[in-house]
Amino acid sequence: MQLALGSDPRTDSLRRTQMVLIERFGRIERQHAKRYDPVWTLVQGVIGARSRTEISDAATDRLLARFGSWEQVAEAPVAELTAELATQTFPEQSATRLKACLQSIMAERGEVDLRHLSNLPTIAAMLWLETLPGVARKISAGIMNTSHFARRVVVIDSHHRRIVQRMGLVPPKADTARAYDALMPIMPDEWDAPEIDQHHLLMKKLGQTLCRPSSMACAECPVRADCQTGAQEC
């Protein structure tokens, strides 16, 4: 890939990182077609705290199959939702937050529907989502990026944030929102929504395998040449 003349060196670092991670892990494709539905993605995110993605995916499907509609999920007793979310790490907390979130949408929209967000600028849509119980920047970005909205925004989870901090691309103590604000301006212009999603999935894979919270396999890491921590500490 040819790098643009005069481009930000951090942007060039992201391009190189993408290339080497694809060489290492291959392209990682989202398998769940339901993620194109923004409400499905919202629910999966709200119930997904500290739970594996595949477990939260299955629980989201199970809720819809059990209750028949997201409106019925919103009206279900917390105890019933908790029982359906028994596989989640925090089932009662997930149930309580989900019910509050869906009821908040119903109170404003009359149904559980997010179609109105397609008419809003991206940041306005994300800020609206972040007024909902249980929704912060990771979930709002996920809805806008991976659903049929297909906006050019990056999802940042704990793995992703840790890596870009170690690379020196975002401030060391930045939370998810600050990391997002630091990373978005340097994302390569040529990356569309799926390519930005691919960036997130590859960084997450790196964080789950080589760049773990308490151990770093820097000698094996394909990103080491662009990582401040890898160059200094490993």
Q: Which residue has the higher pLDDT, 234 or 45?
A: 45
Identify whether 2 is part of a domain.
no
**What integer best gives the mean pLDDT of the chain?**
94
Write the CATH number for 95.
1.10.340.30
Residues 182, 140, single domain; the answer is no
Q: Which residue has the higher pLDDT, 49 or 99?
A: 99
Q: Which domain holds residue 96?
A: 38-146
Number of domains in the chain: 2
Q: Given this model, what pLDDT does residue 3 score?
A: 46
Q: Which residues contact 22 (CB under 8 A, 6 or more apart)?
A: 198, 202
Q: Given this model, what pLDDT does residue 2 score?
A: 44
In angstroms, the Cα distances linking 36 to 32, 118, 174 are: 8, 13, 29
Residues 132, 198, single domain; the answer is no
Q: Which residue has the higher pLDDT, 29 or 50?
A: 50
Q: Given this model, what pLDDT does residue 7 score?
A: 78
